Amino acid sequence: MSAPVKIASPIGGNAGKGAYHVSERGYYGEFGGAFIPEMLYPNVEELRRKYLEVMSEPSFKQEFDQLLKDYVGRPSPLYFAKRMSEKYGTKIYLKREDLNHTGAHKINNTIGQILMARRLGKTRIIAETGAGQHGVATATVCALMGMDCVVYMGEIDIARQAPNVARMKMLGAEVRPARSGSKTLKDATNEAIRDWINNPVDTHYIIGSAIGPHPYPDMVTRFQSVISEEIKAQLQEKEGRENPDYVVACIGGGSNAAGTFYHFLDEEQVKIIAVEAAGKGIDSGESAATSVLGHQGIIHGCKTLLMQTPDGQITEPYSISAGLDYPGVGPMHAHLCTSGRATFKSITDDEAMKAGLELCKTEGIIPAIESSHALAIFGNTSFKSDDVVVVALSGRGDKDLSTYIDHFGL
């Protein structure tokens, strides 16, 4: 009898290992699943059947790793923020996703998904974007692979993220405005889903966060899990141990957080802090604090925590940061929240902007406003002097300069 063929584990490791990983049916506890219109079933089902198999192919992993190294510039540094650490009396490390090509973590996922789309024989790519980082990352990989690209973006986000709109156009993408609802990320996602329903055969939808119907949250998380894989190796080198005491990341839909937390999920001694946008204040009616204001519901193909009215209409979210301006969180984070594995913190616009400016002045790094939310926890959380706290610096602040300028009257 011939020996069984050994299948390598997919990117991120084997599925369903611990209580916080996705189940075979696509659930994290009670959250997740695939709630999709019939027209999308063949697409989503094809992806569900094939994604782990494709990710396990040695040639796929090799191409993914090569592009992350030579094109994205990975591994991203794990930087010991000395002056911040002195100020807050603890050891603060920043995982520098802002130094990636295109300026944020989003490119890790788009590289993975464009390779997946090619393996599935797709020729056209669509995407949604909020801050424009995912749109730029998608337009970039489409240019790299010579594929058609349409990016949906809310009208309000088009106005507040103008540099990224210009970038997408230069990269050859068509940017289509979403003019319904709050004219932000949620509405752009609705438009992208509508497009996919109309073009089910040749089109792959590159979802930009750990949201959407199964297998998207798991697939995106696995592509982003390179972040925590690198943190482990880098901490071993710098601190002589793989595990920090805390990992901290901001949450829009939750992809940088999912990637930052992934390899620590089963290490219960590592405390997880997820930071969401409280906008003008949790009780102001203008926020995106899903962990406090959300209830179980269905959005964009999955069951998760989302902000809604008593009769189930989605509440319009608000945040100064376009990337956190989303009424839900991905299903993994909903589970981390309700199970108590992660502590959720809500940070207001003002707190985030202050923390962003502080990083500029103490470390010489201009962060994306999304990342500034994660940094703001040092203003309201105490850590011990020997705690190792790793914060995901998910993106750079170039795209947000006009918002910083307006806010501080610079």
Ligand X SMILES: Cc1ncc(COP(=O)(O)O)c(C=O)c1O
Question: Of 251 and 273, which CB lies nearer to ligand X in the complex structure?
Answer: 251
Q: For residue 385, how many C-alpha atoms fall within 13 Å in the half-sphere facing its CB?
A: 2
Work out how close the CB of 134 gets to ligand X at its nearest, in angstroms, rounded to a whole number: 6
Active site residue 106: yes
* Residues 140-167: b if buried by 16+ CB within 10 A, e if exposed: bbbeeeebebbbbbbebbbebbeebbeb
Q: Is 323 in the site for ligand X (CB under 6 A)?
A: yes
Residues 6+ apart with CB under 8 A from 196: 40, 43, 126, 203, 205
Are 132 and 103 in contact by the 8 Å Cβ rule? The answer is no
Of the pair 48, 333, the CB lying nearest ligand X is at: 333
Active-site residue (options: 97, 128, 230, 351): 128
Phi, psi values for residue 244, rounded to 5°: -80, 175
Cβ proximity of 248 and 367 under 8 Å: no
Query: Under a CB-based contact definition with an 8 Å cutoff, are residues 312 and 199 in contact?
Result: no
Q: Judged by CB under 6 A, does residue 253 bind ligand X?
A: yes
Q: Which amino acid is at 192?
A: A
C-beta of 130 vs 154, nearer to ligand X: 130
Question: Are the C-beta atoms of residues 140 and 107 closer than 8 Å to each other?
Answer: yes
Alpha-carbon distance 398 to 410, whole Å?
Answer: 15
Q: Is 254 an interacting residue with respect to ligand X (CB under 6 A)?
A: yes
Is 128 among the catalytic positions?
yes
Site string for ligand X, 91-110 (x = CB under 6 A): -------------x------
Least gap, CB of 371 to ligand X (angstroms): 6
Cα-based angle 252, 256, 258 (whole degrees, multiple of 5): 95
Site string for ligand X, 123-162 (x = CB under 6 A): -------xx-xx----------------------------
* Residue corresponding to tokens 């130094």: 99
We find the least distance from the C-beta atom of residue 95 to ligand X, in angstroms, to be 12
Q: Identify the residue among 11, 289, 357, 368 touching ligand X (CB under 6 A).
A: 368
Burial class of 40 by CB neighbour count within 10 A (0 to 12, 13 to 18, 19+): middle
Span near ligand X by CB under 6 A; candidates 168-176, 265-273, 280-288, 366-374: 366-374
Minimum CB–partner distance for residue 130 and ligand X (Å) = 5
Contacting residue, 111, 192, 251, 332, with ligand X by CB under 6 A = 251
Options 186, 225, 394, 399, the catalytic residue: 394
User: Is 209 one of the binding residues for ligand X (CB under 6 A)?
Assistant: yes
Active-site positions read: 106, 128, 394
Tell me which residues touch ligand X (CB under 6 A). Answer: 104, 130-131, 133-134, 209, 250-257, 323-324, 368, 370-371, 394-395
